Every structure is written in C-alpha cells, then in structure tokens.
Chains A and B, each alone.
Chain A
Amino acid sequence: MNGYIKALILILVSLAILIPLASSSPDGLEKVAETLGVDESESSVTSLMSDYVVPGVENEYGSTLLAGVAGVFLVLGAALVLGKSMTKSIKQ
C-alpha cells in the first residue's frame, strides 16, 4: 500500500508544479472547431467546477490546483469503489 501512497503524493506534487507551466492554447479539437467556424455553445448544464476553476477562489493558480486535487481524489474514490465491485467475485 505504501508504494501507492507514494505514487499518489508524486502525482499531486507534479500537478502543483506543472499547472503554471501548462499551455492555455486551444487543444486540437477546439482549434478545428475554431478554424471551421463552429462555436462551442455555453453549456446549459452548470457544473460544479467548470473549466477546472473552483468558484469563489480568486487566485487563479490556487483555484485550478484545488480543482485538480479535488478531481484526483474523486477519480481515486470512484475507481476504488469500481475496483471493489469489479473484482468481487474473486475472494482473496
């Protein structure tokens, strides 16, 4: 288990270091839509942390980092639950 926790810490530290270095240019798909003159309509569904920003947190870096950390733990939790149910049939 220790190794997994180390890996998780490494993921979070790397995220904190790399967020300010990440490119904010449009990605491949966004660029194609832009070039072909198709606009991404604002989604009618409001998400909790749209575009990886935590509402109410002014600092841009802090807001993205917080969203990222929240996302990492949400994914981790969901995968643990899934892993448990997926491998249920084999008792160890």
Chain B
Amino acid sequence: MHIPDGFLSIIICVTMYVISMGFLIWSWKKTKNVYSSSVTPMLAVSSAFVFAAQMINFPIMLGTSGHLVGGTFLAVILGPYAAMFSMTIVLMMQALIFADGGLSTFGANVFNMAVIGGLSYFIVKLLTRKSNSNGRFFLSVFAASWISMLLGALACGLQLGFSPLFSEAGGVLATVPSILLWHIVIGLGEAVITATLLTQLKRMPSIVISNFANIGGGLN
C-alpha cells in the first residue's frame, strides 16, 4: 500500500502532509505526558519487527501479493500514540533508503498506515471492553486489523482517484473498488497474523510483555 512518487497530485500530497502532521503533533503531546522511558526498548524492537515483516510478501490470489502492515500490532503493544510514531519511522526508512513509497507521497502513506493503524487501538478497546478472555481479544484484534487495512485502502483509493494520473482510468470509481477488493483479502492475512501473534504474546508471562496492554491506557 506504499504509494510511490508521481501517483498523487501536488494538492493531495500537501493536504495529506498537513493532516498527518496534525495527527503526529497530537500524538507527540499525548505521549509526552503518558509514557515512561521504559517503553523505549519495546518501541524499538516492535518497530524493527514491523519493518522486517513488511519485507515478506505473501501470495494472495491471481498473481497478487500482500504483506503485513502491522498498524494494529503496534497499536495494541504501544498504544495509539507511540504506534503512529513507530510506523512513521518504518515508513521514513523505507522511503529514504529503500525507495519503497515516495517522498512526495510520504504524508499520504503516513496517514493510510501509521495514523489509521494507530487509531485502530480504539477499535480493539471498544470491542474488548472490560473482558479479559483470550478468545474475545483474538476476535477484537482480528476485526480491528481487518478494518484498519480496509480504511487504509479506502483512503489510498480516494487519494489515487482524485489525482489526475488516474482520472483517465475512471477516477475514484475505478480506484476505490479495485483497491478495496484486493485489500479485503490482504486484510484477512493481516488479521490472522496480527491476532495470532498478539494472542500468543499476551499469554507470555515474560518481562517483555509485562507492559503490554497497559501502555497507553490499558486494554483490560
């Protein structure tokens, strides 16, 4: 879902930079007041994990592949605010060093993956409520990952569709359905991986996970 340079019009690029910047400033203010420095190693390792996971494309169907985005994974482990920063770091390295996602489209990519991914924390929280059951946790994470993937794809489809490069092909009426169609399936992969991983991590009594789900307000 990494939009390369040249796909989006300048107006959309600038707009998405401004919107994403707004969310990051909001997150910065939230994190500053809440997070203790003991979160730092967890932030670093989970960001590294997401970078590595995004390199591994899995085949879905008809010669198309997808990879884990990891927005909901980060949101549950780090809370919504630090998750946005974590994903932004991953996207920044990908754009700067690996030419994966453009620089002009960076604001859009941050919105589609980092901002929406971070906000999916609230979907998990809404669905788990006060329940401590692993089954309910699994299903909540599953739903949140899938929804966040679809919302990201929808945003991506709108950004592309309103850019002149895609107007000849039919604009939003062409881009939105086709990108959603693929991400309905890719999102299921995202949901299975994220829910399985997080449910396993939640069961581990290790120190690594002791902060888990308490950071950023707590899920339970």
| Given A79-B43, A92-B36: A15 and B52 interface contact (C-beta under 8 Å) | yes
Given contacts A23-B59, A37-B169, A72-B52, contact A7 B45 (CB under 8 A): yes
Q: Determine whether B57 belongs to the interface, using a CB cutoff of 8 Å to chain A.
A: yes
* Tally of A-B Cβ pairs under 8 angstroms: 197
**A23-48, CB < 8 A from B:** 23-29, 31-33, 35-38, 40-41, 43-45, 47-48
Residues in B with CB closer than 8 Å to A24 are 57, 65
Q: What chain B residues lie within 8 Å of A52 (beta carbons)? A: 55, 98, 100
Q: Which residues of B contact A92 (CB under 8 A)?
A: 36-38
- Label chain A's interface by main secondary structure: helix
Contact present for B43 and A36 (CB under 8 Å): no
Min CB distance A91 to B, Å, is 8
Q: How far is the CB of A56 from chain B (nearest CB, A)?
A: 15
Which secondary structure dominates where chain B touches chain A? Answer: helix
In contact, B40 and A78 (Cβ under 8 angstroms): no
Provide 8 A-B residue pairs closer than 8 Å at the C-beta atoms, listed in order of the A residue: A4-B41, A15-B56, A36-B169, A50-B98, A83-B44, A86-B32, A86-B35, A92-B38
Name A residues whose Cβ lies closer than 8 Å to a Cβ of B: 1, 3-4, 7-8, 11-12, 14-15, 18-19, 21-29, 31-33, 35-38, 40-41, 43-45, 47-52, 64, 67-68, 70-80, 82-84, 86-92
